[in-house]
Structure 1
Amino acid sequence: MTPEAVVFDIGNVLIEWQPERHFDKVIGEERRKELFAAVDLHAMNDQVDRGANFHELLASMADQHPEWREELGIWHDQWIEMASPEIPHSVRLLRALRAKGVPVFALTNFGVQTFEIAEPVYPFLTEFDKRYISGHMQVIKPEARIYEMVEDDCGVAPAGLLFADDRTDNIEMAASRGWQTHLFTGPQGWADCLVAKGLLTEEEAV
């Protein structure tokens, strides 16, 4: 069936999210590897995505790991540099769908405070018809509950949702619930999917 609504992940679909790349530039690859081995920064980020206060958690982590205080300060103070740049073709696809009257939702693992940091930098984050932000929902992908919450709220049956995400586990959970899915590996593949689904023409998907 033709999808009734399109659901975008944000990180690595609309905005690149590559913390290791940023740290490699700032402190060098060797030091970055030591940091990520000593401090589970991705687990820390999951806590933020579940609703933990970004600023308070970073301060607590710095107290727990004083030898890495400066580097944890980079994670805090330069967070927007880690969440960059935007992926322009994906943003154009979002706007092309909206121009066609296709409802467009966001479903993203994103903290409350970090989303507040990102929103003024990336105005397209305000352009969704509905936004499902994990920090506010206090549950993250790929847990079934977050998909259930979307289904309960959005007014579209699971089979009518087309979801793009860069992580296989997130896609598999959505598919298991009957959503249509696309594993995002780049914007051109996503554009081709939207054309194949009958939502955009090739000209509109450029």
Structure 2
Amino acid sequence: MSEVLLFDLFGVIARQQSAAGWAELERLVGVPGLHPLYWGRRHSYDRGDLKGADYWRLVAEELGTRFDDGRVAALIAADIASWSAVDAEMVALVERLVDEGRRVALLSNIPEELAAHYEAAQPWLARLELVAFSCRIGHAKPEAGAFEWCARALDAAPQRILFVDDNAGNIDAAAALGFRTRLFTGIDGLNSSVG
């Protein structure tokens, strides 16, 4: 059995970005071509290299347009809303594991504005032993530094940590560092792995 369970957030405990939320972002942007630019700058935003206003102004520049302060604020709010749904079953599983005395931690690629929203809206986060938000640790998956930071903070050898993520690239990166891994495909397949 693993000493520590290290969960991803989006696609595991929280839902992926909603289609309705993405449509609202496209509406607010008002010009085509958002998708590659949104994701092209997202890693830097998630890692904390950019704040929300700077991120959206860079996206605007690359789209050949400009967003005023009101549009930037609306885009940040819509972006947060698009990533805000959690999976109630997974939250219940995480809380049960904590209640059982298991060591449970989280590693998420997430920008500061969304991290602050989750902390305010999801009280179960405060029950975890460690919450490692990429924007605050200076490393984003699949960078080795993200996993190494967690192992140090948890004072646990990688082989004593089971990392659960829905992204195969992140799983491969963690496995290369000696972490035990589980590719998340749903709660049913996970129950047997976490005991």
TM-score, normalised with respect to structure 2 = 0.84
Q: 1 CA distance for matches of 2:153 and 2:77?
A: 35
Partner of 1:3: 2
1:56-92 alpha-carbon deviations (Å, 9 max, x no partner): 3224433553647498665412123211310111111
Unaligned residue ranges in structure 1 (runs of 5+): 200-206
| Distance in 2 separating the partners of 1:102 and 1:90 | 15
Gaps (5+ residues) in structure 2? none
Residues 1-206 of structure 1: pairs in structure 2 closer than 5 A: 2-18=1-17, 20-24=19-23, 34-37=33-36, 40-51=37-48, 52-65=50-63, 67=65, 69=67, 75-194=75-194, 199=195
Greater Cα offset, 6-15 or 122-131: 122-131
| Further displaced range: 12-21 or 134-143 | 12-21
Q: Which amino acid aligns with 1:10?
A: L
Distance 2:91 2:45 in 1: 25
1:31-70: per-residue Cα shift (whole Å, max 9, x none)?
8974325xx1012221111112123322443355364749
Aligned residues: CA RMSD: 2.5
**Shift, 1:131, TM fit:** 1.4
- Residues 27 and 49 of structure 1, relative CA distance in 2, 3 Å threshold: closer
How many pairs align?
Answer: 190
Give secondary structure in 2 for the equivalent of 1:78: helix
Cα distance per residue 1:142-196 (max 9 Å; x no partner): 11121112222211111111111010011111111221111112222222322xx
TM-score (norm 1): 0.80
Amino acid at match of 2:47: R
Displacement of 1:139 after TM fit?
A: 1.3
Contact 1:142–1:170 (Cα < 8 Å) also in 2: yes
Q: Percent identity?
A: 24
Q: Deviations over 1:100-136 (max 9, x none)?
A: 1011111111122220122212222222111111111
Mapped partners of 1:187, 1:17: distance in 2: 15
Q: Is the 8 A contact 1:8 1:106 kept in 2?
A: yes
**Aligned partner of residue 192 in structure 1, secondary structure:** helix
